[in-house]
Amino acid sequence: MSTHTVTAPPAEGALSRRGFFMKLGILFNGFAAIVLAVPIVRFLLSSVARGRGNGYLSWVPLGNVSNFPEGETRMATFRSPLVMPTDGKTVDTACWVRRLAGDQFQVFAINCAHLGCPVRWFQQSGLFMCPCHGGAYYRDGARASGPPERGLFEYPYKIENGVLTIDAGQLPTPGDPVASLTSEKPPCA
Amino acid sequence: MRLIARVGEWFDHRLQLAAPIREAAGHPVPRNTASWFYVFGSAALTVFLLQLITGILLALIYVPAAGEAWSSLQALNHQVALGWFIRAMHGWGSNFMVAIVLIHMVQVFLFGAHKYPRELTWVVGVFLLLMTLGMAFSGQVLRFDEDAYWGLGIGASIASRVPILGPFAVKLMLGGPIIAGATLSRFFALHVFVIPGLLIGFVCLHVLMVLKLGINEWPMPGRIVRRATYEAEYHALTKQDGAPFVPYAIWKDMFFAAFIILAIAACAFYFGPFGPTGQPDPTIIQTAPKPDYFFLWLYALLSLLPPALETPFLLICPPLVILGLILLPFLSGEGEKSWRRRPIAVITVLMIAITLGTFTRMAQFTPWSPHMNAWSGDPVPERYIHGTTALARQGALVFQVKQCRNCHSLGNTGGQRGPALDSVAVRLTQDQLIRQVIQGGGNMPAYGNNLSPAETTALVAFLETLHPASQGPARDAALDLVLSNGQVKTSGTQP
């Protein structure tokens, strides 16, 4: 039987064997944390990463051009291009289609440019009105009164084989209007 | 009995919990803290526990998927036995919890309990308040109806205004490009796992600090808090004039806790559950979304702020308010505790309460929102067309058909967005009326493009009849003189 020799405690500042292993252990766990953190962060930010550029937008049909009489504004609905199995009805979106004449259209988002409530079209007074905070817009989408700081959001459109299609797929918000800004027009234009 | 005692001993030998529990229960508190003013903290904890229980019960039925959530709420309301009651308890419990947390906070502030050495208890309390509000908002989202859907749109619109990071924040919040299934799922995770987990942790910290630092003594005017001497003074106080917390003080907490639970149950039973309102279908736009009670003040504020101030206000004020609340105990950690010697504290609380109360009250009426159906639903009162000319009656028709009523009231019906027009002819001359109608201004849209000259003439003729019988319409005396060589001009539009 050999007797265990009691090792003298290491001098202050010196690295003991156990202290070294503990630090190595911390380092090893730090490495494991990074390995874990990368996929977690990537997963959490997946909705942001995909949206970079115009990743969510694509051309969706609104119906035949003939559905929209000239000089009138009609509601149209479309299905969001990105659909998940659990989305239910939320992927169906409404928008306002104004046909000026021939192939000239304006397609407005349903969302008020103030805080996103659904604006309603009033044919007789030629105004869009918002039920939430009282924003109002002229028939061309320009701001008429109330809290919005700009006109209605407008979708880019094109006509393919007689079908009106818009570039949509993302909720337009004041900080991210998605499509090009509604051109500034004087209110009486 | 002996068996129970022996089993108890067996467990305590292993758990070693009896001694610390006995110590915590019996710790001496100043006698005057056994007051009905000191029951709100424990009441908040009670309601929180109630919310945990009712929340778990709801989760037995609720489906956190955008396609099914609304119908599962309907099933809770109408199919599952007493599902409506559990939903109502959870909804009313939420309102009670926000209210009690706010009352608790005001009481703590007015009694100076945030001062040394309880600064950290206050700071943790501020986080508890924020989490309570977070629970209230996310809970409203889980009630996935049309209000929740458009409420999320409002949240996204606010978040999008953050410079640079806004668009990313929106996609992070919504879990995608639009409000959809992923949005509800992540609010479910927040409401059911993340925030409650944090709440439990922070509540434990909060209570632990109350136990370690002692319950704030009843503030006496003139008894000044000093860092150097406070703790010794407090210990002396609990020695001289202290009593064990259990049972001396706790009986009031217990009574109040039971009272609050019964009050919530009574509200739940009498008023029933909140919603759900219409389905979360974005193609149904006949809706006027409104937030839940404790966010109504914000709804009012967003309507009344000048547009240019809104974004800076939304982005700068909340961080400032939170920072102010966190810094409060460090800025006034010493000195008088009694509200009798802190007039500014009392005035501040009153000002905030009156402001929030006023905004909340206004948001219940929403005078700033157009009444979408007033033009077809609220007729011009008969007395305003009785005995008028054919032109004025035609004008009354124009007034209805062009939706003027959506924003202007007559005889107290119609929108209140614009001024009531019952006596508009007294305020505006004919020329001013024409200008206002055609060019708009002062928050009114211009109608120049939407009214033919004939319609404008008729409309203004109608508006000119709107004055009290005892008071003539306003007229521009100078114009009359210049134009008419003594002949008073009575009708016709100006170029």
Q: What is the pLDDT of residues B268-325, one digit of tens each?
A: 999 999 989 999 999 999 888 888 899 999 989 988 888 888 889 888 999 999 999 9
Q: Would residue B69 count as lying in a domain? A: yes
Per-residue pLDDT at B324:
96
Residue of B nearest to A52 (CA): B168
Q: Is residue B358 part of a domain?
A: yes
Q: For residue range A16-52, what is the model confidence (pLDDT) as tens digits? A: 999 999 999 999 999 999 999 999 999 999 888 875 5
User: Does residue B329 lie within any of the structural domains?
Assistant: yes
| A96: β partners | A75, A108
Q: How far is B141 from chain A (nearest CA, A)?
A: 14
Q: Which of A100, A142, A106, A135 is nearest to A118 (CA)?
A: A135
Kind and range of the H or E element at A154?
strand A154-155
Spell out which residues of chain B touch residue A122, defining contact as CB-CB under 8 Å: 375, 403, 406
Angle between helices B83-110 and B250-271 (to 10 degrees): 140
Name residues 409-438 of chain B within 8 A of A (Cβ).
417
Contact call for B170 and A82, based on CB within 8 A? no
CA dist B254 and B274 (Å) reads 28
Of the residues B154, B277, B295, B416, the best mutation for testing chain A's interface (the one with the most A CB atoms within 10 Å of its CB) is: B154
User: Which chain A residue has its CA at the smallest distance from B184's CA?
Assistant: A87
- The total of other beta-carbon atoms located within 10 Å of residue A152's CB is 28
Question: End of a domain among B365, B387, B420?
Answer: B365
The per-residue pLDDT for A72 is 92
Residue B3 domain-assigned? no
Average pLDDT over residues B133-145: 95
Taking the C-alpha atoms of residue B492 and residue B489, their distance in angstroms, rounded to an integer, is 8
What pLDDT is stored for residue A184 in this prediction? 41
B385, B337: one domain = no
pLDDT at B485 (0 to 100): 66
- Tell me if B137 is assigned to some domain: yes
- Tell which residue, B294, B354, B281, B276, has the closest CA to residue B72: B276
Residues of A in contact with B291 (CB under 8 A): none
Task: Find the range with the poorest average confidence among A77-81, B260-264, B267-271.
Answer: A77-81
Domain check: are B79 and B206 in the same one? yes
Confirm whether B320 is domain-assigned: yes
Number of domains in chain B: 2
Distance separating alpha carbons of residues A144 and B440, to the nearest angstrom: 9
Do B304 and B419 belong together in one domain?
A: no
B306 and B408 in a single domain? The answer is: no
B283, B391: one domain: no
- Per-residue model confidence as pLDDT tens digits over B187-237: 999 999 999 999 999 999 999 999 999 999 999 999 999 999 999 999 999
Share of chain A above pLDDT 90, in %: 61
CA angle B73-B74-B78, nearest 5°? 120
Query: Which CATH number covers residue B200?
Result: 1.20.810.10
Query: Do B323 and B427 belong to one domain?
Result: no
> Binning pLDDT at 50, 70 and 90, where does residue B442 land?
confident
Residues of A whose CB is below 8 A from B377: none
Nearest to B70 by CA among B17, B142, B177: B142
Q: Does residue B370 sit at the A interface (CB-CB below 8 Å)? A: yes
Nearest to B371 by CA among B342, B340, B341, B400: B400
Task: Tell me which amino acid residue B405 is.
Answer: R
pLDDT for position B484: 72
Percent of chain B with pLDDT over 70: 98
Q: Is there a domain that residue B270 lies in?
A: yes
Which of A88, A118, A139 has its CB closest to that of B181?
A88
Looking at the structure, tell me whether residues B383 and B345 fall in a common domain. no
pLDDT-derived band of residue B344, with 50, 70 and 90 as boundaries?
very high
Whether B218 and B329 share a structural domain: yes
Instruction: Tell me the pLDDT tens digit for each residue of B345-388.
Output: 999 999 999 999 999 999 988 888 888 888 888 888 888 888 88
Based on the domain organization, do B45 and B112 belong to the same domain?
yes
At B477, which CATH number? 1.10.760.10
Q: Which domain holds residue B403?
A: 374-484
pLDDT-derived band of residue B492, with 50, 70 and 90 as boundaries?
very low
Q: Are residues B224 and B190 in the same domain?
A: yes
Position A53 scores a pLDDT of: 55
For the entire predicted model, the pTM comes to 0.89
In this structure, what is the dihedral angle of CA atoms B215, B220, B223, B224, given to the nearest 10 degrees?
Answer: 70
Mean pLDDT, all residues of chain B: 91
**In B, residues 282-311, which contact A (CB 8 Å cutoff)?**
282-283, 285-289, 299, 302-303, 305, 307-308, 310-311
B382 in the same domain as B323: no
Q: Is residue B55 part of a domain?
A: yes
Q: For residue B181, give the nearest of A84, A130, A145 by CB distance.
A: A84
Q: Which of B339, B365, B391 delimits the end of a domain?
A: B365
> Cα separation of A174 and B166, whole Å?
10
* Domain boundary residue, one of B322, B348, B365: B365
No. of helices (H) and no. of strands (E), chain B: 22, 4
How many angstroms separate the CA atoms of B453 and B493, rounded? 8
B44 lies in the same domain as B189? yes
- Say whether pLDDT at A188 is over 60: no
